[in-house]
């Protein structure tokens, strides 16, 4: 079974993955390891930069006993002009048990999945989806809150280019949350309702900030030092208008002093940013269990 988008998952599959994520989270904290995927091989195929996603998939695989092989894309035959489809056919002939892919093109994970015999996990395709990030964000909130029912979530920043926002906007409402997307008008999708960052944050229970994805922009938008933070970023003043127990999230990588005041990011109580990273390993263990069908 592939894991390519939120829409491809049923409610019960989502519930199972999130439930297993909490299970693996407790296991990891207790130092218990599992061996269900011993002898299996995961391929990591990342055409875009990554710290958290790449490392947490590798760590998740190792915690389940699998081995990980990572294609160093910069030194691969991609640089000699090989197409993604030919790379996929080549990797398929090596018979991996799971392939995790991140690529710049929307729909690339689906295209690769159509070629591979092994299950494929989408670790981000262009500006389209990043389903395992949304799953780990939901698992992080459940860890803190139990249920997401009626929880008001403001997702703020570069919505136009954010696959994280797109996957979360699909997943979180299915779990009962109310999601509002907000950002600079230049960085909002054309079809999105226009809410200001101030309005979205006011009264929110959760504020999720997103980076300006400069690599996908042709302009120098948001370059002037301090300006973005002042106009659209998470400052102490904006946070003060949120719910009293507000929780702050960020998928990373953060640009401190741009979309978020660094002091807020470091707050031990209200910031869930480190918890998101810890939960990413547990959630990806649950995703590997789900796609392989090999249960611990």
Query: In this complex, which beta carbon is closest to ligand NCD, that of residue 25 or of residue 40?
Result: 25
Tell me if 160 contacts ligand NCD by CB under 6 A. Answer: no
Tell me if 222 contacts ligand NCD by CB under 6 A. Answer: no
Tell me if 282 contacts ligand NCD by CB under 6 A. Answer: no
Query: In this complex, which beta carbon is closest to ligand NCD, that of residue 40 or of residue 54?
Result: 54
186 phi, psi to nearest 5 deg: -65, -25
Which residue of 133, 167, 180, 271 would you call a contact of ligand NCD, by CB under 6 A? 133
Tell me if 20 contacts ligand NCD by CB under 6 A. Answer: no
Q: Determine contact, residues 109/126, Cβ cutoff 8 Å.
A: no
Non-local (6+) Cβ contacts of 28 within 8 A are 63, 278, 281, 282, 285
Least gap, CB of 252 to ligand NCD (angstroms): 5
Q: Determine contact, residues 158/187, Cβ cutoff 8 Å.
A: yes
Tell me if 251 contacts ligand NCD by CB under 6 A. Answer: yes
Which residue of 20, 40, 130, 238 would you call a contact of ligand NCD, by CB under 6 A? 130
Tell me if 246 contacts ligand NCD by CB under 6 A. Answer: no
Tell me if 124 contacts ligand NCD by CB under 6 A. Answer: yes
Share of the chain residues as helix, strand and coil, in percent rounded to the nearest 5: 45, 15, 40
Total residues contacting ligand NCD by CB under 6 A comes to: 11
HSE, side-chain direction, 13 A CA sphere, residue 148: 24
Least gap, CB of 38 to ligand NCD (angstroms): 28
Tell me if 22 contacts ligand NCD by CB under 6 A. Answer: no
Which residue of 5, 28, 44, 53 would you call a contact of ligand NCD, by CB under 6 A? 53
Separation CA 26–CA 109 (nearest Å): 31
Non-local (6+) Cβ contacts of 115 within 8 A are 85, 88, 89, 92
Tell me if 211 contacts ligand NCD by CB under 6 A. Answer: yes
User: Would residue 154 be called left, alpha or beta, if left means φ above 0 and alpha means ψ between -120 and 50 degrees?
Assistant: beta
Strands lying side by side in the sheet with 178-182: 178-182, 152-156, 206-209, 247-249
Which residue of 200, 228, 252, 258 would you call a contact of ligand NCD, by CB under 6 A? 252
Least gap, CB of 215 to ligand NCD (angstroms): 8
User: What is the token pair recorded at 289?
Assistant: 């269990």
- Residue numbers at the binding site for ligand NCD (CB under 6 A): 52-53, 124, 130, 133, 163-164, 211, 213, 251-252
């Amino acid at each position: 079974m592939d894991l390519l988008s939120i829409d491809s998952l049923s409610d019960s599959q989502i519930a199972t993955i999130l439930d297993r994520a909490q299970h693996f989270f407790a296991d990891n904290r207790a130092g218990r390891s599992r061996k269900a995927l011993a002898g299996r091989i995961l391929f990591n195929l990342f055409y875009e930069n990554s710290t958290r996603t790449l490392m947490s998939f590798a760590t998740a695989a190792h915690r389940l006993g699998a081995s990980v092989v990572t294609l160093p894309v910069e030194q691969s035959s991609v640089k000699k002009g090989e197409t993604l489809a030919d790379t996929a056919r080549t990797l398929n002939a090596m018979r991996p048990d799971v392939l995790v892919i991140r690529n710049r093109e929307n729909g690339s994970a689906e295209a690769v999945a159509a070629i591979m015999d092994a299950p494929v996990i989408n670790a981000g395709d262009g500006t389209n989806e990043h389903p395992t990030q949304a799953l780990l964000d939901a698992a992080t909130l459940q860890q803190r809150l139990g249920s997401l029912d009626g929880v008001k979530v403001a997702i703020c920043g570069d919505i136009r280019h954010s696959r994280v926002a797109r996957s979360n906007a699909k997943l979180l409402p299915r779990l009962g949350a109310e999601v509002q997307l907000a950002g600079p008008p230049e960085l909002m999708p054309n079809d999105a309702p226009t809410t200001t960052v101030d309005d979205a944050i006011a009264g929110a229970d959760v504020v999720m900030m997103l980076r300006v994805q400069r690599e996908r922009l042709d302009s120098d938008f948001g370059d002037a030092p301090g300006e973005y933070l002042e106009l659209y970023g998470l400052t102490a003043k904006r946070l003060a208008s949120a719910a009293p127990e507000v929780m702050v999230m960020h998928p990373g990588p953060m640009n401190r002093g741009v979309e978020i005041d660094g002091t807020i990011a470091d707050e031990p109580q209200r910031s869930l940013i480190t918890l998101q990273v810890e939960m990413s390993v547990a959630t990806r263990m649950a995703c590997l269990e789900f796609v392989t069908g090999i249960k611990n």
